[in-house]
Amino acid sequence: MIRLSALIGASLALGGTSWAQCPGIPQTVARLQWSKPAAVVAPNRFWVVEVNPILDADENRTPVSLRNCRNSKVRPLFILARDAELHWSADSKNLLVINEYLSGTSEVLLFSAHDVVTGAPRPPDAINMVVMAALEERLGKARQVDFYLPAFVSWNDSSLVLAIGGMTNTQVPGPMKTYCYGMTINTSTLRIDEILSEEQLKSRSGDRCQSSP
């Protein structure tokens, strides 16, 4: 015979699971603005990205943090530049951020939610360094990147596609030139599996690169 106390304990455990979920509507994609508070709930409702604006500083110092709704622990993620675009992976294990600066240079950041809360995260800008190295190799040493404007295209399991666009110049006076590449990146290994031309990117995804702010 099942004891009443066991039934009550099971009921409370189930209730605790539901209480542990983040309140609000889950979002896969969201845009942040440095002066506006925000709470972006992950698809599985176990995580929420929080923006708490700081409005009394000469420079943007608005922090973005990650809250674990199961234990209420909060961990800092990054400082919001001006705007940012967030993309949760479908399984809510990873968070991609395009942090957009006024200078026409954005930054790609990749966070593992588990690594953030356990305190041993991979450097979030590691993916940006990989993309920049591949871009500089394609452009050649003679060209200097003036505008660097990566954009999200798609994310299927660990395969992430970005559109990398912008403008370059040389030390010799002359017109600036645009560039556009699609990059397929394995988010588990941070290896670039494929680099697409502008024509290939458009043909496969219908997406275009942004060349200027």
> What is the C-alpha separation between 15 and 38, in angstroms, rounded?
27
Q: Hey, is 132 helix, strand or coil?
A: helix
Domain stop point among 92, 122, 152: 122
Residues 112 and 155 in one domain: no
Q: What is the pLDDT of residues 49-68, one digit of tens each?
A: 999 998 876 667 899 999 99
Amino acid 58: pLDDT: 64
Q: Look up tokens 């967030």; give the residue.
A: 86
Based on the fold, state whether residues 116 and 129 are members of the same structural domain: no
Q: What's residue 172's pLDDT?
A: 63
β-strand partners of 95: 88, 111
Kindly state whether residue 13 falls inside one of the protein's structural domains: no
89-113 pLDDT tens trace = 999 999 999 999 988 899 999 999 8
For the chain, how many structural domains are there in total?
2
- State both tokens at 1: 């015979």
Strand-by-strand arrangement of the 74-79 sheet: 38-41, 47-51, 63-68, 74-79
12 within domain boundaries: no
Whether residues 184 and 102 fall in one domain:
no
